[in-house]
Homo-oligomer: A and B are copies of this chain.
Amino acid sequence: MQFQLTNDFIEQIAQLIAKKDGNALRELLQEFHFADIAELIEELKSDQATYLVKQLESDLTSEALMELDDDVREKILERLSPIEIAAELQELDTDDAADIIGELDETIQQKVIDKIEDQERAADIVELLNYDEDTAGALMAKELVQVKETWTVAGCVREMRRQAENVTRVHSIYVTNKEGKLTGRLSLKDLLTAEAKTEISDVFIPKVDYVTVHTENEEVARIMQKYDLEAIPVVDDKGILVGRITIDDIVDFIKDEAEKDYQMAAGISQDVEADDSIIDLTKARLPWLVLGLLGGLGSVYIMRGYDEALATHVELFFFTPLIAAMAGNVGVQSSAIIVQGLANDNVKGSLFKRLLKEVGLALINGLALGVLVILFGALTQMDQQVAFTIAISMLLVIIVAALVGTFVPIILDKKGIDPAIATGPFITTSNDIFGIFLFFFIAKIILNF
């Protein structure tokens, strides 16, 4: 059942485009799913893709455009006239249409809006463009099925038929009072089972989850997940129903957030993909490497300060990569758990309890690892005192790294900064350098060099 894009097929399409055979293209692709068209477009050059978009019906290409990578879409939109763009938008829900307009150059935006035939729709899109990014207002679509409390079931079905024309999928039927304020929802089941003459006010459910236009995306995602909602209505400051957010937008949001966190943990800023250009990939990766390098140079500086130990305790220097690795690993583990906990809202209880727990955890891990170090020392005939010193300082480094890993994300979160930034090279690097400093500091005290 699944469509598989082959090189032969891409070649066939490319040839039809070269021959400018629009009819053949339309015939070949008319039964395709827009997601498959999008996959095909991603494989074509911008000019080829633009020609294809112009040739195919916009009910197919508009949804396909939404599926494309931002940069691919940008290159195609640049090659379309305002009228052509407006024609594509015609087929999209208002939220998607607003997203596309938002990506356009400001000089083009107004031209495209002017070319939208349906005035009401154009006004809806402009309204959406005015909401703050990352809020429910910018995420919602204006399309929804809305009935009044005072209608009968039969009138409701009649009105739904009309409204459903503009709505791709009926998620929920929202009930409003005469001022347009959201008062409840209607289950499809009740609508199907109720008598035709029953008034909506007798069958509707007066309890409904909602968000306001100002609710942040993250909170919308949290609510929809917690309450297993497939759509949620959005109201304005006066409680008037102005739009609805559907779960597919939230799925995209969750995936994007997870990918962002993952990339941040791996030391990649900006949203890049394996197939991006070397320049984009370098921009996303080099800054973090430079940070790591500076940390490493800091370690060099610290070790130079302890070079009197070279004569007597050279083994300490052999152990520095191990100490740095342990500090980094423990720090990342601690921060990753806290970052996920913060995201899932299950970091509760007092900070003091958490501190005790982290210290306890670090003690157990540090002791176990310390025993291994002493064992290694014995097996390789190391000076016992040095092996013991290394184990002790490693234990302390691990405790400090765990505390840093735990509290840096919590502090960032309290200050309104994305705590995920703490899991990446930031924490590894600072723990590396701090760990090495602490290691030599403690070793100096114990070994008295």
Binding site for B on A (CB under 8 A): 1-2, 33, 35, 157, 160-161, 164-165, 167, 169-170, 188-189, 192-193, 209-210, 223, 225-228, 230, 247-248, 250-251, 254-255, 258-259, 261-263, 265-268, 272-275, 278, 281-282, 285-286, 288-290, 292-293, 295-297, 299-301, 303-304, 307, 310, 314-315, 317-326, 328-330, 332-333, 335-338, 340-341, 344, 346-349, 354, 357, 360-361, 364-365, 368-369, 372-373, 376, 380, 423, 425, 428-429, 432, 436
Contacts and interface: CB of A to CB of B under 8 A. Distances in A.
Contacts of A266: 265, 332-333, 335-337, 423
Contact of A346 (B157, B209, B267, B274): B274
Contact of A317 (B165, B226, B317, B335): B317
Contacts of A295: 322, 325
A46 B121 CA distance: 54
Contacts of A429: 325
Given A230-B248, A340-B259, A324 B321 contact: yes
Given A228-B35, A258-B258, A341 B282 contact: no
B326 A296 contact: yes
Nearest to A160: B192
A292 B275 CA distance: 31
B293 A372 contact: yes
Contacts of A360: 278
Contacts of A340: 259, 262-263, 273-274
A357 B278 contact: yes
Given A282-B364, A361-B281, A161 B192 contact: yes
Nearest to A157: B192
A289 B365 contact: yes
A210 B1 contact: yes
A314 B318 CA distance: 11
Nearest to A301: B380
A292 B188 contact: no
A272 to B, nearest CB: 7
Contacts of A322: 293, 295-297, 299-300
Given A265-B265, A289-B330, 16 more contacts: A35-B227, A161-B192, A265-B336, A275-B349, A282-B361, A285-B330, A286-B365, A289-B365, A289-B369, A293-B322, A299-B318, A299-B321, A303-B318, A307-B314, A321-B436, A328-B428
Nearest to A249: B228
A348 B275 contact: yes
Nearest to A295: B325
A276 B200 CA distance: 48
A170 B188 contact: yes
A336 to B, nearest CB: 3
Given A303-B318, A372-B290, A341 B273 contact: yes
Contact of A255 (B247, B254, B262, B318): B254
